[in-house]
Amino acid sequence: MNPPSSPVHPAPAAVVLVNLGTPTAPTVTAVRRYLAEFLSDRCVIDTPRWLWWPILHGVILRIRPRRSAHAYAKIWTSQGSPLLVLSRALTERVRDLFASEGIRVELAMRYGEPALEATLSRLRSEGVEHVLILPLYPQYAGASTGSVRDMAAHVLAHPPPAWHCVRDYHDDGGYIDALARSVEAHWQQYGRAERLLLSYHGLPQRYVDAGDPYLAQCQTTTRLLRERLGLDENQLTMSFQSRVGREVWLGPDTESVLTAWAQGGAREVQVLCPGFAVDCLETLEEVAIRYREEFLTAGGARFEYIPALNDSDAHVQALAALIRRHLGSWQKESLRAGA
């Protein structure tokens, strides 16, 4: 009789949820430090350094931090930055689902704290053998997910640990269902408005012209959610927000769409931002405060922002299922660095 085989224990693994980042305080100094790191990333700004550096340090970092600090102050909570507070809450809930399986779940920020570079370096030094990186950007863009992948490749250049970065989840069934359920819950509580606008973060048009799949993935998310909710193209429309600079960005522009709707007689609108996993400056200040004021000033009567998925049950379950699928594929295919 053969002796019982020893149990097979999986190699130590960790999941790192990655969000963009946030200043440590709504002050000019803290915002300047954050923007300096963010706008120095070549994935975000690909302008040659000799041309970009004087603009960044001579103009932008002298002017923009004060305006941004004022915007952050409008949404800052007693616990800190909404993006960080909500990202932590989401991470904790996902962590609880994997605690019994010996899989660590960490939170990192691409810019600011907790820093992605430091988090990955620490996991490596602690002997973690497999790292699954999940950027909280449903739609892929080189300026967001691409930057996370580049940082991971830099830190984890020589395995172990082996690592894999989730490229996107723009058409994931759980994600689409979570979006739909959040809209339906809002309708149940407040009623349905005439129009539902999906506002995604903007991106320079030339990035898409060069092959970035971001626009196509936003269109796919929009189509799938429209089908899930049973709406037509007049009832559910997409747009892009947060433009900066003078170059051509993806359109239509959210601000322009809302103003045109109000001036054209639309009285009611609800806005959802599917590209933001948790609420942040762009949703809470730009959309829920600034765009609301502009819509009402232009003649609209009812403007409602539908909150991001944050740490809702549907969102937590969708991310957990996504993580399990990628971990399962990893074990089957023995994914290596950057695969």
pLDDT along the chain (339 residues), means of 10: 40 90 98 97 93 93 96 98 98 96 95 98 93 98 98 88 95 98 98 97 97 98 98 97 92 97 97 98 98 98 98 98 89 48
Task: Give the whole-angstrom CA distance, residue 20 versus residue 135.
Answer: 9
- pLDDT tens for 305-332 read 999 999 999 999 999 999 999 998 765 5
| 300 dihedral zone (left: phi>0; alpha: psi -120 to 50; beta) | beta
Antiparallel, parallel or unpaired: β 268-272 and 195-201: parallel
User: What spatial distance separates the first Cα and last Cα of the chain, rounded to whole Å?
Assistant: 42
In degrees rounded to 5, what are phi and psi of residue 106? -120, 160
**pLDDT computed for residue 336 by the predictor:** 46
pTM higher than 0.75: yes
Tell me whether residue 123 is exposed, middle or buried, using C-beta atoms within 10 angstroms of its C-beta: 0 to 12, 13 to 18, 19 or more. buried
**pLDDT computed for residue 264 by the predictor:** 96
| 133 dihedral zone (left: phi>0; alpha: psi -120 to 50; beta) | beta
Please give the CATH architecture assigned to the domain spanning 173-306. Answer: 3-Layer(aba) Sandwich (3.40)
Residue showing tokens 């507070």: 85
Indicate the helix (H) or strand (E) that contains 305.
strand 302-306
Closest CA to 300 of 254, 329, 264: 264
CB 315 within 8 A of CB 169: no
CATH number of 13-168+314-333: 3.40.50.1400
